A and B are shown apart, each in its own frame.
Chain A
Amino acid sequence: VPDARSWRVLLGWTVAFAAVAAVLASTNRALFDATTHHLLAAARLVDNTDGDLGRLWSEVPPGGLVMALACSLSGLVDLAYPYALAPVLAASLLAALALVTWRVAIERGAGRRGALLLVAATSALLLTSYDFAFHAFSLRPELASACFIVGFVGLVVLASERGDAGHLPSALACLAAFALSTPSGGLAAVPYAAVALCTLRLPRAEVAPPFAVFVVALPWVLAGLPHDPDPPWRVTLALLSTLFVGWLVVSARPGSDRWRRRAIVTATLAVAVGCAVVAVRAPGALAAPDAALPWIGLGLLALCAAWIPRRASSGWFLVALLAEAAVALELGTSPARRFGLHALVLVVLLVGLRYAAVLGPAAAPRERSIARQPILEPFGGHRRLVALAFVGLLVATVADNVRVFRSNQLNHPPKLRLLRHDGFTLERAMDARADDDSEADE
């Protein structure tokens, strides 16, 4: 039950949100382009398709599902289109970023004045950047995904800093929304989930349940879409399951911090190799003006990563950002504008957190002992869990074998009538075989 202070905070934020939204909605400064028209056309279909989601899906621009559904709400208030949606989203993003920076700075021992200065500086940095300002007035899908990814990273960092796993369900809801608002679908969410799992300094028993729900829920939602996304939801499910089971197994081992460190270093190398492979496979993408921005961004990010203090594990989200860029480039989903915005907001957030660590006397995050919670105890340890997973695989295989038996339409070799004295000779058998071979050759 919220206490009186919580109620005051809730009330204050609600009133402030309403006031800001009212101000932003008082004037229409929306910017349009072709993507906006596609988005709004798709949004109108939501009201007029009588549940024919397949038609809607074919009209939605890449990664625009969440925004199309959000725009369709304008029909409820008799508006032609929600011209204030982008500014309100931008304000929400700014507020979330400011709040996360504030809380982390306070957690790390910064004074209120220092924290306020930091928040003002990062907000100004974001507000004065052209990319953010452009998206703050454009009805395009990119701002929504940027909002969601900042929400996820911010909540994960807060959960880690405050030792409070209660942030995780909201964080994972943000990540799921992010997956639904990018063209790369669930694949783009995997690196962020991986970094979160590797860097969260929380008891395993508290981390495992929300992630387990996420691993099942996201592919389930993707599978429910009218068209199979690209990549298919099965790929997302396989990657997330492997990641989660691997984390369950590895984090049960003694010295799991060392394992996490290894995992994240290996992932960094893999991402670096992946980026190189993408660059080799699609050299044109580097040369195209539209795709130049991500690579400039990557260079800057690599530079920044070198300056992130070693113990500020949130810096590893930069690796996830690189992985997202590699995935987007590999899938050819024109990442420049989208990635530019993602990179911008995340770099502002993470650089702000880096300075938050420097401001206070407790420059390093609190050391928290990770109590090994016995979540695998019912299984008798990770080995037993692996053995049981193998049993599960076998049971699933039997079920699949039964399905194959039922559906197999193969024409098997016919059963021949065999008689002992039917004129068979070796020469005739050889001739028949030679005929078969020649037919096969032809």
Chain B
Amino acid sequence: VIAFDQIALFVALYALGLSLVLAFGPRTRTALCCALAFPSGLALYVLAATFLVLSPVPYTRASAVALFAILAVPSAVAATRRWRPTRAAVTTVLAWSAGFAAFVVWLHGFDASRLSHDSSAIVHTGLRLAELEGARHALLSTKGSFHIVVHSLAYFTSDAYLWAIAPAIAGGLAALFVVLGVEGLRALGACRPRSIALVVLAVVVLMTTYMVSFHAFYIHSNSGGALYALAFVGLWWLSELDGSTDALPVAALLLVAFVAQRNEGPVFGAILILTCVVPSALPRRALDRFVAGYCAIVAAIYLLLEGAPHFHFTEGRRRMTLALTLATGVAWLIASRTPLARLRRVVPQLAVGGMLVLGVVAYLASASMRNSIDVMYGNTIAQRRTGQMWGSVWTVVAASFALTALLPGVRRASAFAWSAVGTLLLILLIALMHPYRMSPHDSGNRMLLQVIPLALFYLTLKAAVVLGRPPDVSVSSRAAS
């Protein structure tokens, strides 16, 4: 009998995700589908399992398997109908799948995971979900629901807990970064070996940053946040480049997964909607469906979480979050159907500008805010008392933003920049309600993991496009003359 361990679980989730992405994702980009397969499969199953946990149906091995079947069969059927593979595409899928399986087998072979009290709470609460009868929704609000449900899957495996999930997510982040970069450069006509090498170099920078590599083994929600933020914004950008709405269902799934990483996730989700969805040139009907689906799923989760125990996530905050989610949908309806629609293109600038003004006012008015910003500076740049967790990466990113301002913009890619800056400002503003502390494991410091892949990808893209295109003929001829 083959034990159902993490290897089998991850491969099953990968297969689920692959069929989903080939059916409802960017199926013309096979490599991207493969890179998105594991994150999408994980997101789909975990979100479905979240509703299962919140429902009266018992959360047992039988119900979990039934749920998997309910999700997998329609996805597989849809994939076989919609995907028209070429020989090269089949080869890509087979090679990638074999590589993924080998990667998971390797990860399963050693347990390098690091755990704190937060990690322990996530793992134990997840395991407890499957043991408890009734009142399970109470457990989901102890941390963001996503990782609690993820770790509940360990109950159905022969392993004590999912020590390979954090490195698998980090590996997914690295792979997605490269594939998104290559696919994007190809769409922009700048895909040459030197530009691909730059993308690979940027991934090396990202993954060798001590904070990122530490979270590749640290059981928490932040590397998941980084993965899903990059996946959503990247997929949205490619959809904009292609002018295609095929991948929007998967994009919505990725956005919901990003939101579910933390209890205050819908606030971050609203930022990504403002920076990606609102200024989009895609057909309005598709955007309507996207926003409606997103709001319905997130609102349903937060509605069902009523009466959860009160840690930092109080009942008042749950209601506020629910109201914000509904308000996001209403705001979209108004913004897309009134004369305000003319301003859609500048909404990211307005949103970031508004947050900036709010931040300045808060900085001047609140000592706690000033202290939190000092702390954030200490955690990221100065790093005197917190160890060199970030190294020089934030200084380099800030300098590179100034440097690459001299380069021409990349088509539709400003969503990355606005998302990164907007998320960064929001993290700073959250300090008004939850002051930060000088520690590498501080909440604000960890949330910056969501920002760094977006910022680095944007900067890399600008430079890679310049390197990937033929030299500027006008400059050469002028110089020669």
Most A-side CB within 10 Å, residue of B115, B396, B459, B463? B463
Interface-side segment among B95-103, B119-127, B352-360: B119-127
Q: Are A382 and B480 in contact (CB under 8 A)?
A: no
Of chain A, the residue at the smallest CB distance from B405 is A386
Q: Are B406 and A384 in contact (CB under 8 A)?
A: no
User: Of A373, A386, A415, which one neighbours B403 at CB under 8 angstroms?
Assistant: A386
Q: Are A429 and B121 in contact (CB under 8 A)?
A: yes
Interfacial chain A residues near B113, Cβ < 8 Å: 415
A409 to B388, CA, bound (A): 9
Interfacial chain A residues near B214, Cβ < 8 Å: 412
Of chain A, the residue at the smallest CB distance from B467 is A387
Interface size class of B (residues with CB under 8 A): 35 or more
Task: Give the distance to chain B from A335, nearest Cβ to Cβ, in Å.
Answer: 30
Interfacial chain A residues near B119, Cβ < 8 Å: 413, 416
A252 to B479, CA, bound (A): 9
Q: Are A433 and B311 in contact (CB under 8 A)?
A: yes
A386 to B208, CA, bound (A): 23
Per-residue contact bits, chain B 159-203, to A (CB 8 Å; 1 contact, 0 not): 011000000000000000000000000000000000000100110
Q: B440 interface residue, CB < 8 Å from A?
A: yes
Most B-side CB within 10 Å, residue of A380, A394, A405, A419? A394
Of chain A, the residue at the smallest CB distance from B437 is A440
User: Of A249, A377, A420, which one neighbours B127 at CB under 8 angstroms?
Assistant: A420
Q: Are B210 and A372 in contact (CB under 8 A)?
A: no
Q: Are B406 and A413 in contact (CB under 8 A)?
A: no
Task: Give the distance to chain B from A397, nearest Cβ to Cβ, in Å.
Answer: 5
Q: Are A401 and B209 in contact (CB under 8 A)?
A: yes
Interfacial chain B residues near A130, Cβ < 8 Å: none
Q: B231 interface residue, CB < 8 Å from A?
A: no
Of chain B, the residue at the smallest CB distance from A402 is B208
Q: Are A393 and B400 in contact (CB under 8 A)?
A: yes
A415 to B119, CA, bound (A): 10
Interfacial chain B residues near A382, Cβ < 8 Å: 406, 475
A403 to B210, CA, bound (A): 10
A320 to B218, CA, bound (A): 53
Q: Are B115 and A429 in contact (CB under 8 A)?
A: no
Q: A391 interface residue, CB < 8 Å from B?
A: yes
Q: A410 interface residue, CB < 8 Å from B?
A: yes
Within 8 A of B (CB), among A366-418: 372-374, 376-377, 380-384, 386-391, 393-398, 400-405, 407-410, 412-416, 418
Interface size class of A (residues with CB under 8 A): 35 or more
Q: Are B403 and A413 in contact (CB under 8 A)?
A: no
Task: Give the distance to chain B from A266, nearest Cβ to Cβ, in Å.
Answer: 16
Q: Are B472 and A380 in contact (CB under 8 A)?
A: yes
Q: Are B115 and A413 in contact (CB under 8 A)?
A: yes
Of chain A, the residue at the smallest CB distance from B139 is A426
Q: Are B210 and A404 in contact (CB under 8 A)?
A: yes
Interfacial chain A residues near B437, Cβ < 8 Å: 440
Interfacial chain B residues near A393, Cβ < 8 Å: 396, 399-400, 403
Task: Give the distance to chain A from B315, nearest Cβ to Cβ, in Å.
Answer: 16
Q: B55 interface residue, CB < 8 Å from A?
A: no
Q: Are A398 and B440 in contact (CB under 8 A)?
A: no
Would A408 and B388 be within 8 Å (CB), given that A387-B463, A394-B201, A424-B124 are in contact?
yes
A236 to B474, CA, bound (A): 35
A221 to B441, CA, bound (A): 40
Would A436 and B117 be within 8 Å (CB), given that A382-B406, A394-B201 are in contact?
yes
User: Of B115, B121, B213, B387, which one neighbours A410 at CB under 8 angstroms?
Assistant: B387
User: Of B123, B127, B393, which one neighbours A397 at CB under 8 angstroms?
Assistant: B393
Interfacial chain A residues near B201, Cβ < 8 Å: 391, 394-395, 398
Interfacial chain B residues near A269, Cβ < 8 Å: none
Of chain A, the residue at the smallest CB distance from B459 is A390
Q: A430 interface residue, CB < 8 Å from B?
A: yes
Q: B226 interface residue, CB < 8 Å from A?
A: no
Interfacial chain B residues near A402, Cβ < 8 Å: 208
Task: Give the distance to chain A from B27, nearest Cβ to Cβ, in Å.
Answer: 33
Would A401 and B210 be within 8 Å (CB), given that A383-B407, A407-B388, A424-B124 are in contact?
yes
A430 to B208, CA, bound (A): 35
Interfacial chain B residues near A125, Cβ < 8 Å: none
Within 8 A of A (CB), among B132-177: 138-139, 142, 155, 160-161
Task: Give the distance to chain A from B359, nearest Cβ to Cβ, in Å.
Answer: 23
Interfacial chain B residues near A405, Cβ < 8 Å: 208, 210, 213
Q: Are A397 and B391 in contact (CB under 8 A)?
A: yes
Within 8 A of B (CB), among A67-91: none
Q: A432 interface residue, CB < 8 Å from B?
A: yes
Q: Are A426 and B208 in contact (CB under 8 A)?
A: no
Q: Are A374 and B480 in contact (CB under 8 A)?
A: yes
Interfacial chain A residues near B476, Cβ < 8 Å: 377, 380-381
Interfacial chain A residues near B316, Cβ < 8 Å: none
A419 to B408, CA, bound (A): 55
Q: Are A433 and B463 in contact (CB under 8 A)?
A: no
Per-residue contact bits, chain B 375-407, to A (CB 8 Å; 1 contact, 0 not): 000000000001111011100100110011011
Of chain A, the residue at the smallest CB distance from B124 is A424
Interfacial chain B residues near A407, Cβ < 8 Å: 388
Per-residue contact bits, chain B 40-63, to A (CB 8 Å; 1 contact, 0 not): 000000000000000000000000
Interfacial chain A residues near B121, Cβ < 8 Å: 429, 433
A216 to B162, CA, bound (A): 52
Q: B205 interface residue, CB < 8 Å from A?
A: yes
Task: Give the distance to chain B from A174, nearest Cβ to Cβ, in Å.
Answer: 31
Would A418 and B117 be within 8 Å (CB), given that A390-B463, A408-B388 are in contact?
no
Interface residues in chain A, defined as those with a beta carbon under 8 Å from any beta carbon in chain B: 249, 252, 254, 372-374, 376-377, 380-384, 386-391, 393-398, 400-405, 407-410, 412-416, 418-420, 424-426, 429-430, 432-433, 436, 440
- Given contacts A390-B400, A391-B198, 13 further A-B pairs with CB under 8 A are A386-B404, A386-B407, A387-B464, A391-B467, A396-B392, A401-B209, A401-B391, A401-B393, A405-B210, A407-B388, A408-B388, A414-B115, A424-B127
Q: Please list the 4 inter-chain residue pairs (A to B) with the smallest Cβ-Cβ separation, ordered nearest first.
A: A374-B479, A410-B387, A413-B116, A380-B471
User: Can you give 16 contacting A-B residue pairs, CB < 8 Å?
Assistant: A377-B479, A380-B475, A390-B404, A393-B403, A395-B201, A401-B391, A404-B391, A408-B210, A410-B387, A413-B115, A413-B116, A414-B115, A420-B160, A426-B139, A426-B142, A433-B121
Interface residues in chain B, defined as those with a beta carbon under 8 Å from any beta carbon in chain A: 113-117, 119-121, 123-125, 127-128, 138-139, 142, 155, 160-161, 198, 201-202, 204-205, 208-210, 213-214, 218, 309, 311, 386-389, 391-393, 396, 399-400, 403-404, 406-408, 437, 440-441, 459-460, 462-464, 466-467, 471-472, 475-476, 478-480
